């Protein structure tokens, strides 16, 4: 082995042996390097995966640009609303009690029309306008004839007769009415129609249902039914 034999010179055979040995060492060295690289690469990948699991990368760990400008709603402390206290409205002032001997206001008097309830055609029934003090104190009220009126209307509200149309009266009658006191003013109706000023023809009313209503200046009475048969 150490002394090559052949037709060529010994130097040629030594060079061939050195080349084969070099190739063999290169193959053995390359295989070892690949094994070491495979082992090192597996460890590096596991470490990188573990690092990625434990801690986010630099790009994903940065908060979005919007979060840098607008704070999270979870960090904003909203003030606790203070319950509002609704104040009760002030009590309405009590109406002043009427003065004894003062004027009788419309609220202090009652007014009604009394009638026989019915009358024949062409009859002349008597109506009464009744004024009462319904307050708890004496009061003063003008009861002049010119302030009194009784009006008769049909069921549809059409005015057919008024006590002041043809025979208006004037008087001065101021009275002090005691609590509960009533004053009645009788009036005879002639059974004919009339208009204010008594300018229209006057005719008897036909049988039917009618309504009477009284007035004393600004105070009016409830309607009272009246029939003609």
Q: What is the mean pLDDT of residues 225-229?
A: 96
Tell me whether residue 189 is exposed, middle or buried, using C-beta atoms within 10 angstroms of its C-beta: 0 to 12, 13 to 18, 19 or more: buried
Overall pTM > 0.85: no
- Is the model's pLDDT at 11 over the cut of 50? yes
Q: What is the mean pLDDT of residues 1-30?
A: 69
Q: What is the mean pLDDT of residues 187-213?
A: 95
pLDDT tens-digit series, residues 85-123: 667 677 766 666 777 889 999 999 999 999 999 999 989
User: What SS3 state is found at 151?
Assistant: strand
What mean pLDDT is reported for the chain? 81
Calpha distance 152→129 (Å, rounded): 13
Q: Is 157 left (phi over 0), alpha (psi -120 to 50) or beta?
A: left
Phi and psi at 220, nearest 5°, equal -115, 155
Q: What is the pLDDT of residue 58?
A: 47
Q: Please answer whether residues 213 and 225 qualify as being in contact, where contact means their C-beta atoms are separated by less than 8 angstroms.
A: no
Q: What is the pLDDT of residue 27?
A: 73
- Distances 57 to 51, 65, 136 between C-alpha atoms, Å: 9, 17, 96
Helices (H) and strands (E) in the chain, counts: 3, 12
- Is the model's pLDDT at 61 over the cut of 50? yes
- Is the model's pLDDT at 41 over the cut of 70? no
Q: What is the pLDDT of residue 71?
A: 54
Superfamily (CATH) of domain 102-228 = Intracellular proteinase inhibitor BsuPI (2.60.40.2360)
Q: What is the pLDDT of residue 48?
A: 47
DSSP 202: P
- Distances 110 to 3, 27, 45, 223 between C-alpha atoms, Å: 162, 136, 110, 13
Q: What is the pLDDT of residue 160?
A: 97
Q: What is the pLDDT of residue 18?
A: 78
């Amino acid at each position: 082995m150490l002394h090559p034999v052949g037709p060529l010179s010994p130097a040629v055979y030594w060079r061939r042996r050195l080349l084969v040995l070099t190739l063999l060492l290169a193959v053995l060295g390359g295989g070892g390097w690949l094994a070491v690289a495979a082992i090192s690469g597996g460890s590096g990948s596991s470490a990188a995966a573990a690092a990625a699991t434990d801690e986010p990368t630099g790009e994903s760990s940065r908060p979005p640009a919007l979060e840098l400008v607008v704070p999270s709603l979870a960090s904003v402390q909203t003030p606790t609303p203070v319950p509002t206290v609704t104040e009760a409205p002030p009590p309405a002032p009590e109406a002043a009690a009427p003065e004894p001997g003062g004027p009788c206001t419309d609220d202090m008097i009652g007014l009604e029309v009394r009638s026989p309830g019915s009358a024949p055609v062409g009859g002349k029934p008597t109506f009464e306008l009744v004024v009462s003090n319904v307050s708890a104190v004496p009061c003063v009220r003008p009861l002049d004839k010119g302030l009194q009126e009784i009006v008769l209307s049909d069921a549809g509200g059409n005015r057919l007769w008024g006590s002041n149309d043809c025979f208006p009266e004037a008087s001065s009658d101021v009275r002090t009415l005691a609590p509960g006191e009533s004053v009645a003013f009788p009036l005879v109706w002639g059974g004919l129609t009339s208009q204010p000023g008594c300018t229209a023809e006057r005719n008897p009313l036909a049988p039917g249902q009618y309504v009477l209503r009284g007035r004393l200046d600004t105070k009016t009475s409830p309607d009272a039914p009246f029939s003609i048969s």
